[in-house]
Amino acid sequence: MLQIYNTLSRSKQAFKPIVPGQVKMYVCGMTVYDFCHIGHARVMIVFDMVVRWLRASGYEVLYVRNITDIDDKIIQRAIENGEPISTLTNRFIDAMHADSDELGLMHPDQEPRATDFIAQMQGMIGKLIENELAYQSDNGDVNFAVRLLPRYGQLSGKSLDELNAGERVAIVGGKRDPLDFVLWKSAKPQEPADTRWASPWGEGRPGWHIECSAMSCDLLGEHFDIHGGGADLQFPHHENEIAQSEGALYGKNRKEDDAPFVNYWMHNGHIRVNEEKMSKSLGNFFLIRDVLKSFDPEVLRFFMLKAHYRSPINYSDAQLEEARAGLVRLYTALAQAEAKTVTLDPQNPWAKRFADAMNDDFNTPEAIAVLFDLASEVNRAQGDEQQTLASTMKSLANSLNFLQRDPTEFLQAGSKQDSGLSAAQIEEQITQRLAAKLAKDFAKSDLIRKTLLDQGVVLEDKPGGLTEWRRT
């Protein structure tokens, strides 16, 4: 049975969907005012993996990932650029989709934009006011009264006195308490007309947190299975989502037998660069599109999933080169046999070991270790046994979106950082080496092999006089 580490309970729990055979999952997506960086890539890759494994396990999955297309940073960037909000956000939504496609990821089943759900947000804010959990300040903002909700802090595991307001919760005049957070921001005179909507509380726009509560409840219901996102969202964003969603539905006191907003909370670890958390303020962040200029998309996916999704990972070119070397090893094994994607018997020992790893809170490092062990067996086997093992390896990797390309194509592509010989130049050298061997000029033949190796090209002589090559 699938076990998921639930941030809410701080333990692994057996996964039991609300409706048998069906999973509803919401993941916090991007704020679209700039190109996506590798921190965004990790969120996209991790939850793409989660959806793939759930579907491979027989679940019908509804995967929703939102787009925040109204936000202080978006407004600031649009004003700086002198362009409408929609022009800015549409451009970066297109760029996000291009990055995702380049990475070979599935699009979510639904990708709601915040600006399409203003009415739902206002409806939820109205319920919170009715339930005496929200109030309008003198400055026009509507705020959530955190201390009126006794269970606030359940996700972060801290008491109210231990919590701070959080990175994206501004402490401004008009709040009754520093922990209170904004639900509706009153429009400022200098803000463009396309950043404000009419409301019972005056013109303005939604706060960041209310967006996800309204969109997830509208599309998945007031009680759904999985909510995911980066670890930095655990507090305050996800804590505030719980407060808003359950506060609107149940008021100040949710009873023990009342269904929670979400059953399982999943958070992926941070990306670190030189052992520091990646952030724009430190200037140590890398855009997905820039990384893909130097590394194959499958290499970046492999790098991300070599580590457990909850673990922080340290990013560097050396780490990506190590990931590429791992993929080369796996593809080299596949190149020895005509592997096919087949349906595996769940009792197949390799399939069982792989499934046990994935069902242990999506333990991709252990699942990938199964692929490496299979590669070793493929290298030792021959004939039908080799083909069966290679097909098993390719089929298991399919659920992680790895090893589905032609092995020769991958191995000959090499690293995008290679500035060496073209394929045509390599083939010409192989032809010259064959001629030298036929002329029994073995010194020249060996020299060509060594020269190619020095330039990052490995030659492998096969039966029948054929020579195959790959880049190191």
CB atoms within 10 A of CB 61: 19
280 in a labelled binding site: yes
Count other C-beta atoms under 10 Å from residue 302's C-beta: 25
216: tokens are 């997830």
Which one-letter DSSP state was computed for residue 232? G
Report pLDDT for 418.
57
Please name the residues in contact with 147: beta carbons below 8 A apart, sequence gap of 6 or more.
Answer: 160, 177, 179
Here the tokens at position 367 are 């699942």
| pLDDT for the residue numbered 12 | 98
Instruction: Walk along the chain (472 residues) and give the pLDDT tens digit of each residue.
Output: 999 999 999 999 999 999 999 999 999 999 999 999 999 999 999 999 999 999 999 999 999 999 999 999 999 999 999 999 999 999 999 999 999 999 999 999 999 999 999 999 999 999 999 999 999 999 999 999 999 998 999 999 988 777 654 434 445 567 899 899 999 999 998 899 999 999 999 999 999 999 999 999 999 999 999 999 999 999 999 999 999 999 999 999 889 899 999 999 999 999 998 778 777 777 788 999 999 999 999 999 999 999 999 999 999 999 999 999 999 999 999 999 989 999 999 999 999 999 999 999 999 999 999 999 999 999 999 999 999 999 999 999 999 999 999 998 999 886 655 556 777 777 777 777 877 777 887 787 788 788 887 777 888 787 766 777 777 6
Residue among 354, 340, 297 nearest 320 (CA): 297
**pLDDT for res 432:** 76
CA distance 153 to 316: 35
The residues, ordered by sequence, that sit 6+ positions from 237 with a Cβ below 8 Å of its Cβ are 28, 166, 168, 208, 209, 212, 229
DSSP state of 135: E
According to DSSP, the β-strands at 181-186 and 142-144 are: antiparallel
Domains of the chain: 19-272 (3.40.50.620), 316-409 (1.20.120.640), 423-471 (no CATH)
* In 316-418, alpha helices (H): 317-334, 349-359, 364-380, 383-398, 407-413
Among 463, 460, 341, 340, smallest CA distance to 411 is for 460
- Residues β-bridged to residue 113: 67
The answer to whether 241 is a known ligand-binding residue is yes
Asked if 362 and 50 touch (Cβ cutoff 8 Å), the reply is yes
**How far apart, in whole angstroms, are the C-alpha atoms of residue 195 and residue 409?**
49
3-state SS class at 379? helix
36 is in an annotated binding site: no
pLDDT attached to residue 49 = 98
Helix axes 297-306, 317-334, angle to 10 degrees: 100
3-class DSSP assignment, residue 345? coil
- Residue 443, H or E segment: helix 442-454
| pTM of the model as a whole | 0.89
Is 162 annotated in a binding site? The answer is no
Q: Output the six-digit token pair for 362.
A: 């999506």
The residues, any chain, with a CB within 8 Å of residue 445's CB and separated by 6 or more, are 433, 436, 437
Tokens of 305: 């999933």
User: Around 315, how many Cα atoms within 13 Å sit in the side-chain half-sphere?
Assistant: 24
In terms of DSSP bridges, do strands 3-6 and 11-14 run parallel, antiparallel, or are they unpaired?
antiparallel
Q: Per the annotation, does 237 bind a ligand?
A: yes
From 270, 265, 263, select the one nearest 232 (Cα to Cα).
270
Residue 156 — left, alpha, or beta (φ > 0 → left; ψ -120 to 50 → alpha)?
Answer: alpha
Going by their DSSP bridges, the two strands 22-27 and 60-65 should be labelled as: parallel
pLDDT value at position 162?
74
Distance CA 454, CA 459 (A): 12
| Helices (H) then strands (E): counts for the chain | 15, 15
